[in-house]
Amino acid sequence: MEPLYLSLYRQGKLSERIDGALALISPACRLCPRNCRIDRLAGKTGVCKTGAKAVVASYSPHFGEEAPLVGTHGSGTIFFSSCNLLCSFCQNFDISHQLVGKTVEPEELAAVMIHLQELDCHNINFVTPTHVVPQILQALPSAIEQGLDIPLVYNCGGYESVEALKLLEGIFDIYMPDFKFWDDSWAERFCRVRDYRKQATQALREMHRQVGDLQIDDAGLAVRGLLVRHLVMPENIAGTSEVMNFLAREISPNTYVNVMGQYRPCGLAHQDEKINRRITAAELAAAIKAALQAGLYRLDE
């Protein structure tokens, strides 16, 4: 299955999407639901602390992602510095909360994509791409002209703008959002956003509209579709049952879900009594049971 972005490029429409994305960050950034309303092209920064250029923290073949992404040669992950959500318990706290890494021009980001493809990675996996959508799109033409032809993965926190996502239709083959919280009070406590559930549910509907259920080829590799991550948290803070019921009833019972059991206190989590411990085996088992009871059956191993 040919990656979607190649057709868009051949049609000459990719440049229009780049212009549209740049318009979302200047003169008043509304790229994500934070709506910081600052001019990023003029060097101003908001919550994500990122101006006109993307900052790459690291890139490499990754073998710790979901099975359909990893295959035999790994997922070609590109970790961007900073984030639009800034969870207090982030397991990549140094990357997300501090602008560590190298500021890159579009041609440099394109070269990273080509390098990962030359290492036989099965896809290009953009980690925390929400705040750098325009910069990713700016790099794509150069990468395509150098031979990029593997699926693109949008690996995000779920706090997305539907307006921005619509610009990505026909570009990203695989959407991999988190669904972090059902109860907005926890999102406000840990991420300082009051509308996480509203934005995440709208975003997942739009993502599924664009790419549908996850499609896996004969080699066991994901080629297109939606893959949802849900991090199980202590004391059911994430609202797992409600999240799973939403996915099964309002997205699709065929939704591919990774019920993640690796929560551990990171970042500022040690300072909060609600999340300063690992989850228990019983909590993980209850989360998996909730997914199955909701009717979901495509659970990542």
**Model confidence pLDDT, tens digit, residues 108-146:** 999 999 999 999 999 999 999 999 999 999 999 999 999
Range of the structural domain that residue 240 is part of: 4-299
Q: pLDDT value at position 99? A: 83
Confidence of residue 252 (pLDDT cuts 50, 70, 90): very high
pLDDT computed for residue 164 by the predictor: 98
**What's the pLDDT score for residue 87?**
97
Looking at residue 109, its pLDDT comes to 98
Q: Residue 83 is encoded by which pair of tokens? A: 């984030």
Q: What pLDDT is attached to residue 270?
A: 94
In this prediction, residues 223-236 reach a mean pLDDT of 98
5-24 pLDDT, tens digit per residue, is: 999 999 999 999 999 999 99
Name the band, by pLDDT with cuts 50, 70 and 90, for residue 301.
Answer: confident
pLDDT in tens, 205-218: 999 999 999 999 99
Domain of 225, CATH number, reads: 3.20.20.70
pLDDT level of residue 237 (50, 70, 90 thresholds): very high
Sign, CA dihedral 201-9-79-57, equals: negative
Whether the pLDDT of residue 57 is over 90: the answer is yes
Beta-carbon contacts of residue 19 (< 8 Å; ≥ 6 apart):
none
In one-letter notation, the amino acid at residue 86 is L
pLDDT tens track for 66-99: 999 999 999 999 999 999 999 999 999 999 998 8
pLDDT above 90 as % of the chain: 98
pTM for the predicted model, two decimal places? 0.97
Q: Quote the pLDDT of residue 36.
A: 98
Report the length, in residues, of the chain. 301
Give the model's pLDDT for residue 207.
Answer: 98
Percent of the chain with pLDDT over 70: 100
Q: Which pLDDT band, with edges at 50, 70 and 90, does 40 fall under?
A: very high
DSSP output for the chain: ---HHHHHHHTT-HHHHHHHHHHTTSSS--SSTT-----GGGT---TT---SSEEEEEEEEESSS-HHHHTTT-EEEEEESS-SS--TT-TTHHHHHS--SEEE-HHHHHHHHHHHHHTT-S-EEEES-GGGHHHHHHHHHHHHHTT--S-EEEEE-S---HHHHHHTTTT-SEEEEB---SSHHHHHHHHS-S-HHHHHHHHHHHHHHHH-B-EE-TTS-EEEEEEEEEE--GGGTT-HHHHHHHIIIII-TT-EEEEE------TTGGG-TTSSSPPPHHHHHHHHHHHHHHT--EE--
Please tell me the distance from the alpha carbon of residue 14 to that of residue 72, in angstroms, as a whole number. 31
Count of structural domains within the chain: 1
Give the model confidence (pLDDT) of 154-194 as tens digits. Answer: 999 999 999 999 999 999 999 999 999 999 999 999 999 99
